[in-house]
Amino acid sequence: MAVPRGLIRARPEAMGDSSMATAMDEAGRHVAEALSGYTARDAAEAADVARVRALVSDIADPWPRTIPLHVTASAVIVHPGSGRVLLRWHEHMRSWLHVGGHGDPGESDPLVVALREGAEETGLTDLTPWPDSSLVQVVVVSVPAKGDEPAHEHADLRYVLATDTPEAARAERPGAPLRWLLPEEARRTASEGNIREALARVETLLAP
């Protein structure tokens, strides 16, 4: 993915260090590889990237939802032909969001998680990384408590996925409707600032 000029590079935590590689299992290694060439856009994102790198350095498997800060993977789904993006209503957060979530047992590659979550939440079977498999955003987000689950944080790795069949999108369940919107409309619809930022980046990629 082309990186706009003037971005701030997040300081790596010695990602090639052999001691880290020894301590890191496959789950952590996939996350580290996704982050290895990523460039943060501002100081706030650089701090989030540093937190995720530290998590991967300290914990062999950063995916389990039992740890207070754990990795998730998500994606903004686009239809390049019409320049539209897909949003999903999230009941727990009471807002329009992109797709994504936790890894299933045995999953360790964030792109694989994003692709699976995207297919499950939209019914789209032709999703592919777009314009390539690079991350578009890294952000640590707070998640409020729900039932027996305490408040926690997601270290969310975000991609862009494309479909050629937008008409095939189907809601996963009645309480999770989907909306195809132009990026400007989507940014007005989204209530979370980090989601609006992700959509702004995607809008740049979709621009002719």
pTM: 0.87
Q: List, as one string, the DSSP characters of 69-133.
A: EEEEEEEEEEETTTTEEEEEEETTTTEEE-EEEPPPTT---HHHHHHHHHHHHH--S--EESSSS
Q: Using one digit for the tens of pLDDT, what is the confidence trace for 13-61?
A: 434 444 344 335 788 999 999 999 899 999 999 999 999 999 999 999 9
